[in-house]
Each structure stands twice: as structure tokens, then as C-alpha cells.
Amino acid sequence: MSKTIVITNRKGGCGKSVTTASLGVGLARQGKKTLIIDTDNQHSLTISMGVTEPGKLPVTLATVITDIIAKKDFDPMAGIIHHAEGVDLMPANDSLTGIELTLAPLIGRETILRKYINKVKPLYEYILLDTCPTLDVLTINALAAADSALIPVCPKYLDAKGLELLLKSIASIREDINPKLSICGILFTMVDSRTNFTKEIIGVIKEAYGEEIRIFKDAIPHSVRAAETGATGKSIFTHDPNGRVAAAYAALTGEVLEVA
């Protein structure tokens, strides 16, 4: 049975796109048919997967959403790009910015993306949704379409404060739009374990939420090599296969397979 996971945080720079790509490839490496979808109008995930000129793509997520709004028939596989590391990508480009304006006045605007997800679900075991760092209409659509939310969090003061707002937003969407939405877990990213302040923030978050929300066992360490993946079109498993970040994302993949 297909499972849809949204990777989300209202704070930018916490590794959502890297996590989406790495978990997607990690699942593919475990033999799971996986689709990753870029719902961010900045299209960082699309670029990080090696699409150097997303503006020239004939079909993107914006195309599909436009067809759904116009009630046109569409091929659910149209526009999907197969990456060399085994994962499929539904890309995005600047056209998603215009989609925000198109969706705004529509009745049922929060569930347009769900209609696309329902079309592709029979074809995949896992669908991962990368989101932008705001609670815009497309992010609400992603949360409305997902079975669970995975939350990457940098162990920094402002990120910890923002987590409370995100959890309130998820609770609201669960209550009003998507009652099946659960929280898959909190993932610490870009962790510099040498500093006491990092350890303190992690401790605060664990104390505040650890009893109610899963906190993934293996944090993702800070790494220059991981930051480089966005420019290579390769996942961390190929770019730095023997590094600590690859090992951490492999562990995350195993844990997600157990719980989601």
C-alpha cells in the first residue's frame, strides 16, 4: 500500500530538499518504487536532482495542477523524470509561483494536489513531497495529501521556536482538512555535536516533544560534502558513499521503513 510523506518545516535552511532526495534514493536502494515531488516554487529539489534548466521542461507539477483545475484528462506519468539512482522525480520550476495565484480563489483549493497523488499512488510504494519554508497554499496541499509529516530541524534556537508553530499548523490541518495526517518523526539535521549549545537545543526539543513524537535515532551531521550534493545532481550515497551523512541517511531510511 502506497505511503505519502511530506517533508516540511516553516524554517528555511534545515535540509528539507536534501532529506527528500536522500530518503527517496535510500528507499529506492531498498527496492522500493519511490516518487519524489517538488512542490516548492524555488525548485531546489529539482535542481539538486540534476535538472539544470527546469524552465525548459515541457511538463512539471504546475502543468499537472493546471490540468486538474481545468478538469482535463492527463497521463499521471507525464513529466516524471527517472533519476540514475533509481528514484522518480516530478519536477517544478518558476511556473509554480503562478499556480499559487490560480489556486487562491478556488473552492477546494487545499486538495488539488491530492487528486494528483491519488492518480500516481497505485504506481509507487512511497511518495515524498518536498515543500517550501512557508505555509503557503501548495504546502497546505502537500499536508492535505500526505499520510504523515517528517520534520527536519536544525538544532538552533529559532528553529526550535518555529517547531511549535509548525506543530500547531499540522494539528489544524489534521482537524480541518486531513484527519489521517500523522507525524512520522522529527529529524535533527546539520548537527555539530561538538558544541554544548547544540546539545542543549536537542535536549530541549527531546524533553518537550520526545514522549509524544518520534525523534529519529540518527541525527544528520553537518557536512560540507552533503552541502555539495545540490550542485552535483547526485545523492549523498553516490557523492560521498562512505561518509557520515550517507550512513545517517541510510539509518533514517531503515527507520522510516519500520514506522511509515
Helix axes 16-29, 224-232, angle to 10 degrees: 80
3-class SS string, 183-199: EEEEEECCECCCCHHHH
Q: How far apart are alpha carbons 168 and 176 in whole angstroms? A: 12
146 vs 194 pLDDT, higher one: 146
Check: CB of residue 34 under 8 Å from CB of residue 125.
yes
Which residues pair with residue 90 across a beta bridge?
37
Mean pLDDT score of the chain: 94
pTM for the complete prediction?
0.96
259 vs 22 pLDDT, higher one: 22
DSSP 93-130: -THHHHHHHHHTT-TTGGGHHHHHHHHHGGG-SEEEEE
Work out whether strand 81-82 and strand 88-90 pair parallel, antiparallel, or are unpaired. antiparallel
Domain with residue 251: its CATH number is 3.40.50.300
Which has the minimum average pLDDT: 170-174, 225-229, 253-257? Answer: 225-229
Query: What is the number of structural domains in the chain?
Result: 1
Which has the minimum average pLDDT: 7-11, 90-94, 114-118, 171-175? Answer: 7-11
Domain that holds residue 56: 3-259
Q: Taking residues 110-135, what's their average pLDDT?
A: 96
